[in-house]
Amino acid sequence: MSELDPDLTEAAVADHQREAVAARPPLSRRALLGAAVAGTAGLVVGRVAGPLIPSSPTPTPGPKASSLVAPAVTPFFGVHQAGVSTPLQDHLHFAAFDMLEGARRDDLVNLLRDWSAAAARMTQGLPVSLPESRGSDPDASADTGESLGLPASGLTITIGLGPRLFESDGVDRYDIAAARPPELEPLPRFDGDALSEVLSDGDLGVQVCADDPQVAVHAVRNLSRIAIGRAAIRWSQMGFMHTTKDSAIPQTPRNLLGFKDGSNNILGANEAVVDQHVWLPPTSIPAWAAGGTYMVVRKIAMVIDAWDRQPMAKQQAIIGRTKETGAPLSGGEEFTAPDFEARVDGMDAIDHAAHVRLAHPSSNGGTRILRRGYNYVDGTDAYGRLEAGLLFISYQRSPGQFITLQRALRADLLNPFIAHLGSAIFVVPPGAPEGGFVGKTLLG
Amino acid sequence: MSELDPDLTEAAVADHQREAVAARPPLSRRALLGAAVAGTAGLVVGRVAGPLIPSSPTPTPGPKASSLVAPAVTPFFGVHQAGVSTPLQDHLHFAAFDMLEGARRDDLVNLLRDWSAAAARMTQGLPVSLPESRGSDPDASADTGESLGLPASGLTITIGLGPRLFESDGVDRYDIAAARPPELEPLPRFDGDALSEVLSDGDLGVQVCADDPQVAVHAVRNLSRIAIGRAAIRWSQMGFMHTTKDSAIPQTPRNLLGFKDGSNNILGANEAVVDQHVWLPPTSIPAWAAGGTYMVVRKIAMVIDAWDRQPMAKQQAIIGRTKETGAPLSGGEEFTAPDFEARVDGMDAIDHAAHVRLAHPSSNGGTRILRRGYNYVDGTDAYGRLEAGLLFISYQRSPGQFITLQRALRADLLNPFIAHLGSAIFVVPPGAPEGGFVGKTLLG
């Protein structure tokens, strides 16, 4: 592992806020809409024109046609898959699929081809069309309909391949075992893991994000329908995160501990840092994965009621930052670099086992990951306690980056208040060129 | 029951669309923001000014400070409780609470008082303050923090009282049995009920709606925390619905069957119709409930995979409307009145057991209810099938309105594709005046 980050000087970290603002797309959606109307926009934005069902005798008027905020379209095709360095959307529906017993290599190839074609349409706000839905009953309609008339809502669909897809119990089901990236192994067991099989793993992992939960759910549902006869959902998870990506002053979203989550995260728009820590370089082995990345998914439950009983000072000591502003307890503002040497009244300002210290790149040889987690609430347990937490998702060019950071958290003061219930790892192939499909570099 | 609706002539129904547009608030949020800035707005809008934590040395800049859409504030206090005739928000967190064993009348009174005080603050975008959180550990912080810096997001908190609060197994726990409205009885068993106790009933039912799920979750979590030692959550449910309330051309949202849901619903802004069908009149018995209403909650699961295998024509015949536009199969547009006598090729255009026919006011002596349901997705079951459906919520001045309509659905062609998993009923007291509390008319 050589994750040393030359940018990670204290000054650079202190500059994070300025960088964050600078790295943001310079135009608001409204400005982009204006530009699009004027025909000068460089990005694809705005609702795709035309009736959603071509056979419609009377095209319905577009929703929010006169709304102030133009819905975003993020292209599915590209050098990298969308949904990794893309600014966080407000909603997530993650789904892990297993290939069905008896499915063959052709089924896998056709599934990835159909998914890519459907994803290309859905991410433009279009319904799934018939050729992709071949797995369904031929009499059934191609699209399930619940997103008819809704804008694309920034939908991204990011497809990953799990270790067992390459080899399951020693069986090379799809003739790809030799192409398995050596680093694509099930994650090691970590201290405090309380994993459930029904919330873990998967032959295929699909991260679906959108600014409208109905659009995200529609995408997972239709991908699942397209998979009929070839693959089925193993587990899935909804999530939400309050983003302020359209604001002039972006705010770091808060997790359900009530703290800002991601103050020191890699910014997707910072291409140099993403290239260094996230994307697999052109020299990757195997070469088919170049331009891809590794996705780690962890379902982390929070012991909400116990956490909420802690005094504010204790919560802040555990995290190592203030709750309101997110400033490190060593002083300053949210994006001020933590000073782990600082002392207050003869004590460490930031506890030796505070979360921010253990997780910080400077405590881990510069190791960084791009986190893209979402808060979840699954309702309430039999004791009336919220079943809530974080669906942690991280992207990194090596699983070792996540493993290093997760092992560093062994002594984390936060551990009594969280439990890792689910775990999965996937290699994310590079993006597909227009009309191609994700996985083609592996499967031809 | 005298639910005959004099407005319900065919012409009136055909006029629904015009009415829908006319009944909407005439100004967009943006226009209201402009008006507020100009000091001429009649409604309370905009983010509440000032630091969120008064002790904060450096107030953080407001999120989305320069955002295009002003977050709405819906006042908690008023003649009626908010969240009934209020335009639908995008997200729901519903929670049913049970009083704890040993709680006394004073506990109930104080709980409702504390909840009202907290609701009044949270609906303004303010954190919970210490006096309300008396149920919590005194060292713990008053507010859990995850909505710090977020706008009020149209938050409404609507509190209802269940039948067992008035009398449980013959015991008058809180000295209110004599004040129980005679109509407040557990709902009768309906054909096809597949109810689970852990998804049903509750001494108290709290509907929390907001345009941001984090704001809704925060409210339920803090109400639950305030209730410590007095009441605990029995069950809860998250939901979402894509609203277009800010659009010039409002669209009826779609449920997860893919069909528009609520084309013929009562519009909250149509005060005369709401007064007639929803609010308990001044002459109500008991008098303490006047200005209130009854809330029915049903968790209705959809058998998504079976539904998705049906051809479009079959789905449309089951519902009695087209999927794309929502027009009745007898012709016209979404808001055209269904013609149940119309015949096509010698057959009924709308099947005798189609959902729209059985549920229609004209088939039920004019009976109408105000529906406020939300789509839900709970993840995936062990077979990879989406656990999804509708958290149906309706408001009506008599439970009999719901019972009439639900019984009419006995032969509904839709029944093989749905299952009622949960059920609850609550009487919703009237709103509280500024500084008062919901339930005061009952509990003094």
Q: How far B210 CA lies from chain A's nearest CA (Å)?
A: 12
Question: What is the pLDDT, as a whole number, of residue A71?
Answer: 54
d(CA A334, CA A315): 16
**Contact residues, chain B, for A256 at CB < 8 Å:** 146, 217
Cβ–Cβ below 8 Å for B377 and A238? yes
| Residue B333 reports pLDDT greater than 50 | yes
d(CA B375, CA A91): 15
A200 CB within 8 Å of a chain B CB: no
d(CA A304, CA A377): 11
d(CA A118, CA A126): 9
**Contact residues, chain B, for A145 at CB < 8 Å:** 254, 257-259, 323-324
Per-residue pLDDT reduced to its tens digit, A18-72? 444 444 443 333 333 333 333 333 333 333 333 333 333 333 333 333 334 445 8
Residue with tokens 């109408």: B368
d(CA B162, CA B425): 6
Determine the longest span between alpha carbons in chain B, in angstroms: 77
Question: What is the pLDDT, as a whole number, of residue A2?
Answer: 36
- What proportion of chain A, given as a percentage, has pLDDT over 90? 75
Give the Cβ contact number of residue B352 at 10 Å: 10
Q: How far A376 CA lies from chain B's nearest CA (Å)?
A: 9
| Residue A406 reports pLDDT greater than 70 | yes
B61 CB within 8 Å of a chain A CB: yes
**Residue B147: what are its φ and ψ, rounded to 5°?**
-110, 10
pLDDT band at A131 (very low <50, low <70, confident <90, very high): confident
Work out the average pLDDT over B324-347.
96
Cis, bond preceding A286 (omega within 30 deg of 0): yes
Q: Are B71 and B47 in contact (CB under 8 A)?
A: yes
DSSP B307-347: HHTSBHHHHHHHHTB-TTT--BTTSS-TTSPP-TT-EETTE
| Residue A80 reports pLDDT greater than 50 | yes
d(CA A44, CA A64): 18
| Structural Rg of chain B based on CA atoms | 22
Query: ∠ at Cα A124 (A108, A95), nearest 5°?
Result: 45
- In sign, the C-alpha dihedral spanning A41, A45, A48, A49 is negative
Q: Are B59 and B51 in contact (CB under 8 A)?
A: yes
In terms of CA atoms, which chain B residue is nearest residue A53?
Answer: B324
Instruction: Compute the mean pLDDT over every residue in chain B, rounded to the nearest whole number.
Output: 86
Residues 6 or more apart whose CB falls under 8 angstroms from that of B131 comprise B114, B117
B129 CB within 8 Å of a chain A CB: no
Residues 6 or more apart whose CB falls under 8 angstroms from that of B403 comprise B187, B188
**Contact residues, chain B, for A379 at CB < 8 Å:** 235-238, 378
pLDDT band at A135 (very low <50, low <70, confident <90, very high): low
Mutation for testing the A interface, residue in B17, B69, B148 having most A CBs under 10 Å: B148
Give the Cβ contact number of residue B21 at 10 Å: 12
d(CA A49, CA A72): 13
Q: How far B255 CA lies from chain A's nearest CA (Å)?
A: 6
| Structural Rg of chain A based on CA atoms | 22
Question: Residue A90 forms beta bridges with which residues?
Answer: none
From residue A281, alpha-carbon distances to A5, A86, A286, A393, B277 in Å are 16, 19, 11, 21, 65
Question: What is the pLDDT, as a whole number, of residue B206?
Answer: 98
Q: Are A260 and A354 in contact (CB under 8 A)?
A: no
Give the lowest-confidence range in A347-361, B55-69, B125-139: B55-69
Which has more pLDDT, B52 or B283? B283
Residues in chain B: 444
| Residue B44 reports pLDDT greater than 60 | no
Q: Are B295 and B237 in contact (CB under 8 A)?
A: no
Instruction: Compute the mean pLDDT over every residue in chain A, rounded to the nearest whole number.
Output: 86
In terms of CA atoms, which chain B residue is nearest residue A305?
Answer: B225
Q: Are A4 and A251 in contact (CB under 8 A)?
A: no
| Residue B325 reports pLDDT greater than 50 | yes
d(CA A248, CA A254): 18
Q: A45 is written with which tokens?
A: 């934005």
d(CA B106, CA B443): 9
Residues 6 or more apart whose CB falls under 8 angstroms from that of B337 comprise B10, B13, B14, B328
**Contact residues, chain A, for B311 at CB < 8 Å:** 137, 139-141
In terms of C-beta distances under 8 Å and separation of at least 24 residues, what long-range contacts does A306-314 make, across chains too?
Answer: A306/A416, A306/A417, A307/A257, A307/A417, A308/B136, A308/B140, A308/B144, A308/B221, A308/B225, A309/B136, A309/B137, A309/B140, A310/B140, A311/B137, A311/B139, A311/B140, A311/B141, A312/B140, A312/B141
* Among B237, B247, B259, beta carbon nearest to A65: B247
Q: How far B217 CA lies from chain A's nearest CA (Å)?
A: 8
Mutation for testing the B interface, residue in A204, A247, A385 having most B CBs under 10 Å: A247
| Residue A132 reports pLDDT greater than 50 | yes
Q: Which of residues 279-308 of B touch A (CB under 8 A)?
A: 304, 308
Question: Residue A321 forms beta bridges with which residues?
Answer: A328
Cβ–Cβ below 8 Å for B379 and A61? no
Q: Which of residues 309-328 of B touch A (CB under 8 A)?
A: 309-312, 315, 323-325
Per-residue pLDDT reduced to its tens digit, B164-185? 999 999 999 999 999 999 999 9
Count Cβ–Cβ pairs < 8 Å, chain A vs chain B.
Answer: 220
Cβ–Cβ below 8 Å for A383 and B232? yes
**Contact residues, chain B, for A236 at CB < 8 Å:** 379-380, 386
Per-residue pLDDT reduced to its tens digit, B257-272? 999 999 999 988 899 9
**Residue A169: what are its φ and ψ, rounded to 5°?**
50, 45
Half-sphere exposure of B19 (CA within 13 A, CB side): 21
**Contact residues, chain A, for B233 at CB < 8 Å:** 380, 384-386
d(CA B120, CA B395): 22
B56 CB within 8 Å of a chain A CB: yes
Question: What is the pLDDT, as a whole number, of residue A249?
Answer: 76
**Contact residues, chain B, for A378 at CB < 8 Å:** 378-379
d(CA A79, CA A430): 6
From residue A346, alpha-carbon distances to A274, A331, A369 in Å are 39, 16, 33
Half-sphere exposure of B179 (CA within 13 A, CB side): 20
Question: What is the pLDDT, as a whole number, of residue B382?
Answer: 85
Which has more pLDDT, A27 or B254? B254
Question: What is the pLDDT, as a whole number, of residue A48?
Answer: 34
Which has more pLDDT, A386 or B30? A386
**Contact residues, chain A, for B217 at CB < 8 Å:** 256, 375, 377, 386, 388
B12 CB within 8 Å of a chain A CB: no
Question: What is the pLDDT, as a whole number, of residue A245?
Answer: 75
Query: ∠ at Cα B84 (B79, B89), nearest 5°?
Result: 125
**Contact residues, chain B, for A234 at CB < 8 Å:** 380, 384
Q: Are A205 and A94 in contact (CB under 8 A)?
A: yes
Q: Are B341 and B360 in contact (CB under 8 A)?
A: no
